[in-house]
């Protein structure tokens, strides 16, 4: 495995010394936002993680190498390149073997984080069960990864372009704990509430870290979803985002968008319909997740 893994020296030293490290994905850089906003956001997220006392480790595939911790130059490269593939679990063997570049999704970031020994991962939102999945079988690989990979994922829930109820049912079937961070309501990415409750609410980083330790000490395989709602000031009004999503879903059907193209199409369309406010909310919730994730990583390292 070591022949494929390239861990940044700062990250490697932190892991060897049991210092807190937070994994970050790279899809948000290459496929989530335009340049230079994508790189500026990535750098800000890393700064927020550092401000909590943890070391950021942005994860990506460059020239077939699994990179854990990107340099400033590599962040710039990812932000401006057009030949970067979106890499989920199924894509990783091909991208690595062919020496290509890949932006890691939630699933692949979890895989590589676990390889490196990182236990906390911060993202925007996880994938889930798509609407109409009873016919399309369109279910994100993120959910299966959460069932088997020992990484805690700090997120703002799942986007309401998905079937949130079925997503939570799937996670329950796979034995994945879904914890509300200072909330009893499962967040819906752009909004603080989805209409679904979490089973357990945790109110601070230490109690969350203790839950992580207990799970893995008992050899209960798989990840944990730490659902952290977007700050109230940056949350979108439910009727506004609901209307934008319905319009975007109709456009998706009309244009026969399928498979892995659905989510980026919908997010781009929603951004246009909301005149950019959905992107502002997206950035705000990622920053908030970075703050909470950094605090949880610090608490976890203290226990371990």
Tally of domains in the chain: 1
pLDDT at 260: 67
Query: Per the structure block, which two tokens stand in for 35?
Result: 């340049």
Helix ranges (H only) for 62-204 are 72-80, 92-97, 106-116, 133-136, 141-148, 164-173
Q: What percent of the chain has pLDDT over 90?
A: 77
Tens of pLDDT, residues 183-193: 999 999 999 99
209 closest CA partner among 13, 20, 45, 56: 20
Asked whether the CA dihedral 102, 272, 226, 76 is positive or negative, the reply is positive
Average pLDDT over residues 139-145: 95
163 closest CA partner among 201, 136, 202, 184: 136
Indicate which CATH number applies to the domain containing 30: 3.40.1790.10
Provide the pairing of β-strand 55-62 with 21-24. Answer: parallel
Tens of pLDDT, residues 86-115: 999 999 999 999 999 999 999 999 999 999
> Does residue 47 carry a catalytic annotation?
no
CA–chain centroid gap for 35, Å, is 20
> Does residue 172 carry a catalytic annotation?
no
Asked whether the CA dihedral 26, 29, 33, 37 is positive or negative, the reply is positive
| Catalytic residue chosen out of the listed positions 86, 119, 159, 215 | 159
Average pLDDT over residues 245-253: 82
**Domain residue limits at 181:** 5-303
SS3 state at 185: strand
| 264 has a pLDDT exceeding 80 | no
Average pLDDT over residues 164-177: 97
Q: How far is CA 184 from CA 52, 111, 200, in A?
A: 25, 29, 7
């Amino acid at each position: 495995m070591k022949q494929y893994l390239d861990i940044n020296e700062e990250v490697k030293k932190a892991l060897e010394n049991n210092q807190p490290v937070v994994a970050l994905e790279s899809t948000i850089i290459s496929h989530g936002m335009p340049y230079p906003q994508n790189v500026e956001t990535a750098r800000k997220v890393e700064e927020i993680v550092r401000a909590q006392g943890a070391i950021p480790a942005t994860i990506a595939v460059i020239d077939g190498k699994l990179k854990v911790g990107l340099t400033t130059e590599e962040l710039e490269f990812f932000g401006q390149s057009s030949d970067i593939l979106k890499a989920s679990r199924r894509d990783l063997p091909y991208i690595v073997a062919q020496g290509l570049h890949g932006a890691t999704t939630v699933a692949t970031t979890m895989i590589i984080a676990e390889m490196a020994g990182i236990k906390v991962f911060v993202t925007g939102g996880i994938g889930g069960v798509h609407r109409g999945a009873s016919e399309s079988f369109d279910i994100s690989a993120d959910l299966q990864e959460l069932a088997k990979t020992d990484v805690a994922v700090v997120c703002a829930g799942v986007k309401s372009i998905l079937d949130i109820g079925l997503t939570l049912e799937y996670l329950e079937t796979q034995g994945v704990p879904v914890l509300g961070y200072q909330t009893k309501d499962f967040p819906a990415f752009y909004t603080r509430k989805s209409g679904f409750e979490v089973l357990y609410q945790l109110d601070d980083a230490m109690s969350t870290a203790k839950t992580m330790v207990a799970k893995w000490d008992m050899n209960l395989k798989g990840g944990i979803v730490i659902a952290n709602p977007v700050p109230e000031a940056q949350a979108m009004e439910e009727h506004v985002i609901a209307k934008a999503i319905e319009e975007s879903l109709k456009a998706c059907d009309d244009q026969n968008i399928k498979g892995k193209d659905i989510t980026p199409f919908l997010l781009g369309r929603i951004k246009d319909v909301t005149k950019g406010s959905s992107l502002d909310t997206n950035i705000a919730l990622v920053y908030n997740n970075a703050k909470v994730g950094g605090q949880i990583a610090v608490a976890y390292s203290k226990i371990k």
